[in-house]
Structure 1
């Protein structure tokens, strides 16, 4: 059998099956408009707007890629020995647009032909039945439009899942065997982000910044080294600094122009406006101020309080009796909660980046990478992760 793959054709050798039910299921999925995706490991039916594609866990993906599979390992589990927990099937729908997305076990058809789209080294690595992303209801006039829609919908759903449940995924490209070499060992999986509280996933179809999500995935893969994970999530927030400092300047400008006493034809008023913008620029020039502005714009105090109260260990860690006494504590009932969070994140970032001790009173703390103190920042990683996800979500369109 030959399937359309753009300018080329993909040969799929027929083989005998002993399972009659599997043959029936396979026959139902064969149709004249069936094509092979040329950028991803998947298939599509152009007439009905249905796509099925292989996805990978965001924790284990990254250039160079690992192997295909959307399933996660419990903390302390032995991935290489196959001790993994499979995710249940998931179906979400956007009613107004008519798009349905499903994550469920691979279909017989894709399972049958995936060996034609994967390098040989990949074929034995997925550890059994895997889940794929299936999207239906896509209205696309041609192959390229279908491909674009797939990427947009997959990216949106991937971040929604990451924000709601911590189960993000990536849409890996088709690559050759040399590019898909494992870059980690099983020991690196002993730490991972805390499981988020159970939530009802959604299909928002919002668009999120792909570069920021790349930083987010990098941070998620770094949880075995808390210092690296903290800096990874900080990079996510830092990525948006320029956007929100400019936004604050625009807000100031509009407020001045909207003042009923402002008269542009008066030189004094114009000079006052210039001075106000210059002072604002000077005030937000430093990184501490940019972090505070970004978090103030993106975080909702009540949602942040709910998050902190739901995690007793984190609440205690951040409070006045927490173990990192060189860092300012956080009072979740304070009306300055977001400013306190921003200050703690900033000070911890400085302790890591500048390799110098921070002082609180007469106490000095040097955050050495292999020290017990460095491991204590795992709870602060949860805090900065929450902030990073919230910033991406608030910046979506």
Structure 2
């Protein structure tokens, strides 16, 4: 069901609900505060959809009875979401709060340990206050890290030098932010005795007078970039503000009920072995989920590993045809020159890198497979039809471009993206490039999910094409 399926009128919703239901009170508050909203019916149950501001966009939340009650307690009409980040501006209190994560990959307990080992951390009781308010601390404020338990609230405040406009702290997410945070609402557990999600860590900035989305977002980025860089310099702890990706950009795991190409049992013993070196590159790419630029390049390296094999294949066929020609004369210099011309290119591969990629793509995947892969997935179809990436080759799965086959389009697009990732010139452009470098954490990089899925598909096809029967 899409977000807009099953819309019903307010009168229909109120006829189903009890008059004391908090969803009705939440709708009245939406109307009073001019917050966009509507009603949706799912399995005979009315839900209130509330569109909280996020710049020029809206972030829609579907409220049941319990969530409506929480939204009312936390003054949802004063909440502004901040861009593609899991962050909110609370306009009524002048506080920005944002979920934070480690920049480096690793286990969650190592990340949490790195945070709570920072000097100055203290345990607090109850709801987190803003950085400028006093905390109800334990008698021994500087507790040892191993004394802080997962269920504890804690805070790490930073000294506010004279003239500094903002108060800053890191700590357990506030109950209010937990209700509006994407990360908070994705966590399944709840703190015992409350409606609050499991604990997670946030950055809080107080003293914010900005009320406009863009200005608040700039404050968050300036403060977080400066704070996190200094923490990394002093304590080797690399942090970042967590993204709040739209659902259409979240990589989706194939359902076990729909095993896809090949079908059949998912428990069959392997009967095929795959080349060890490119497979290790593939596993490296699989471990880089959450780092889209690295993930894309790692899958590209799987393709690159096969360049020499596939690019030489066509040349070897041409040489073979020349030698088989009954008219070929080993004593004729012109005949030998034709062979020399065919073999005079790089021993690492034949043709430019772009041409080697095209040869590899053509050698390992059929055009019909690519077309089905794209057209059978609305996520991919929507992405390539809209195409948020500028300056890269577009994909026309219907092949309307005369003389420009789908596999060539695909190879050119993959190579264009690869160039935008690796050509890190000071001016942001590589020689001959029309567009700039793909920068980490940009909206373009956040939209790379379908392109990563596509290059992953090609990497899988390359591994399959080079596979052999499993040997004992």
Greater Rg over alpha carbons, structure:
2
Bigger relative CO (Cα 8 Å, ≥ 6 apart): 1
